[in-house]
Amino acid sequence: MTLAAARALDAADGLAPLRARFVRPEGLVYLDGNSLGMLPADSVAASADMVTRQWGERLIRSWNDGWIDAPARIGGLIAPLIGAAADEVIVCDSTSVNLFKAVVAALRRDPARRVVVSEAGNFPTDLHIASGAVGCVPGAELRVVPRERLAEALDGDVALLLLTHVHYKSGARFDMAEWTARAQAAGARMLWDLSHSAGAVAVDLNGSGADLAVGCGYKYLNGGPGARGVPLCGETLAG
């Protein structure tokens, strides 16, 4: 690969024009989108409007002018990026809180199943949250196994398989449809963490039959520091 060849690939990239829509510090090659996406240029004016007009001028009236509906409205905008229906996605809480709620809901679904399975290489926060969540359900446990032993860990005691779609270190990606089917064939529910894939790779939750998913807005969705988490709940747990 030469510099000329790289530039030719850039010139032929259909997404190349989007580069101009981000604030890019001079001389910086930014490769850390997995922790905080670059600032979209349009968000500067939008943030100023929120502070000066919506808050400064409209005050409490802004709740009825759009603030109160924002979680569902923004969730509907994210839905096409993750293969979900507009009314299945909502922006709220943090990723950790949403993950905790989803794990506990899955454990309470069937009293005969009290095991959450995940891989040893999962994102550390996911394992910490899952460990705390199982402590809130009597008799529940977290079963953490190497990636290559996930299939054999799916026995009749498993309530939930918790996996991160794209591995945060290696970039390895699970086949979402395959692993969702494996979990459901074992009688378990499937929970995907999309924090490292939403906005970066194609995701099709409904096409894969996923039961639950969580994600975040501050990485590849460019929501900025403090952006909310994104939970999705399928029909299997909606009740």
CB contact set of 31 (below 8 Å; sequence gap of 6+): none
User: Are residues 110 and 53 both part of a single domain?
Assistant: no
Residue 57 counted as domain residue: yes
User: Are residues 160 and 210 both part of a single domain?
Assistant: yes
**Residue 117 phi, psi dihedral angles, 5° rounding:** -105, 135
pLDDT < 50 stretches in the chain: 235-239
Domains: count for the chain: 2
> What integer pLDDT is reported at residue 227 of this predicted model?
84
> What integer pLDDT is reported at residue 239 of this predicted model?
32
Of the three residues 51, 68, 85, the one that is the final residue of a domain is 68
User: Are residues 147 and 52 both part of a single domain?
Assistant: no
CA 236 – CA 229 distance, rounded (Å): 21
CA 208 – CA 122 distance, rounded (Å): 21
User: Are residues 104 and 46 both part of a single domain?
Assistant: no
> What integer pLDDT is reported at residue 204 of this predicted model?
97
Burial profile 111-145: b = 16 or more Cβ within 10 angstroms, e = fewer: eebbbbbbbebbbeebbebbeebbeebeebebbbe
Instruction: Report the first-to-last Cα separation within the chain, whole angstroms.
Output: 54
Residue 175 counted as domain residue: yes
CATH number of the structural domain spanning residue 109: 3.40.640.10
User: Are residues 139 and 169 both part of a single domain?
Assistant: yes
181-214 per-position pLDDT tens digit: 999 999 999 999 999 999 999 999 999 999 999 9
Residue 3 counted as domain residue: no
**What residue numbers bound the domain in which 146 lies?**
72-233
User: Are residues 173 and 111 both part of a single domain?
Assistant: yes
SS3 43: helix
Q: What residue ranges in the chain does DSSP mark as E strands?
A: 115-119, 141-145, 158-164, 189-193, 212-216, 229-233
